[in-house]
Copies of this chain bind each other. A is one copy, B any other.
Amino acid sequence: MGEGFGVMAGVWIAGGVSGAHLNPALSFALACTGKLQWRKLPVYWIAQYLGAFAAAACVFAVYLEAIFYRTGGQFVMTDEDPGFAAIFAPYPSAYLSMTGAIVDSIVGSALLLICASAIVDQRNCKVPVSLVAFYMGFAVMGLGISFSMNCGVPINPARDLSPRLFTYLVGWGQQVFSYNNWMWFWIPLVIPHFGAVLGAFIYIVFVDAHWPA
């Protein structure tokens, strides 16, 4: 099982690197800080959730036989062990409370926005556009390594909801949402928006506001 995990994790990491800006919470924070027009937000969101869903379907298609081979075709999960459903969408560690998950999600997505704001701020490090994707990928990878222990880096709602919905549709059933008495699935879906806005404002207050006009 561990073997399969490692490889598949690679799919998500690679996806994260190239698609670092495909994050609904990030788009929301940009809209809140006036860097993205509000009327464009729904289009971005739809694209982001659809893209993540397509990616989940791709992974499923490529690893269909591997998953069947390991699970014996039984797509089941319990409240103790999400099993192979955890390949697609993350689930929290047993010791983590709801409060703990919320703190984790807020700190993680705030840090993401601080990094993202610094990278694209042309008055700061003058990162050329050809390196922005590279730096964003580095930031996401750093956050991914640092925050994976508690509950799988809950900083991107699209990266969370779409694969979860996909696992629901292909047979893992309502458990993917009702896990932990319905007290888990909405955290990575809702909380990153607050964390991202917080991070965006932290950058504005502590850095942005201090550049000469």
In the complex, per-residue mask of A101-122: 1 if CB is within 8 Å of any chain B CB, else 0:
0011001100000010000000
Q: Which segment, of A13-21, A74-82, A155-163, A169-177, faces chain B?
A: A13-21
A42 at the B interface (CB under 8 A)? no
Give, as a whole number of angstroms, the nearest-CB distance from A56 to chain B: 13
A66 touches B149 (CB 8 A): yes
Bound complex: CA of A130 vs CA of B124, how far in Å?
Answer: 9
Give, as a whole number of angstroms, the nearest-CB distance from A95 to chain B: 4
A145 at the B interface (CB under 8 A)? yes
Contact partner of A133 (CB less than 8 A), chosen from B62, B103, B125, is B125
A142 touches B14 (CB 8 A): yes
A125 touches B130 (CB 8 A): yes
A142 touches B17 (CB 8 A): yes
* Residues in B neighbouring A69, C-beta threshold 8 A: 95
Contact partner of A7 (CB less than 8 A), chosen from B8, B125, B135, B148, is B148
B7 touches A62 (CB 8 A): no
User: Contacts A127-B130, A128-B130, A130-B126; is A63 near B150 (CB within 8 Å)?
Assistant: yes
User: Contacts A58-B107, A130-B127, A130-B128; is A142 near B10 (CB within 8 Å)?
Assistant: yes
Give, as a whole number of angstroms, the nearest-CB distance from A9 to chain B: 9
Give, as a whole number of angstroms, the nearest-CB distance from A110 to chain B: 9
* Residues in B neighbouring A148, C-beta threshold 8 A: 7, 10
Contact partner of A146 (CB less than 8 A), chosen from B14, B66, B108, is B14
B61 touches A14 (CB 8 A): no
B142 touches A61 (CB 8 A): no
A107 touches B145 (CB 8 A): no
Question: What would 11 more interface pairs be, CB under 8 Å, given A62-B107, A134-B135?
Answer: A13-B142, A13-B146, A18-B115, A58-B107, A62-B150, A65-B95, A65-B96, A65-B97, A66-B150, A69-B95, A126-B128
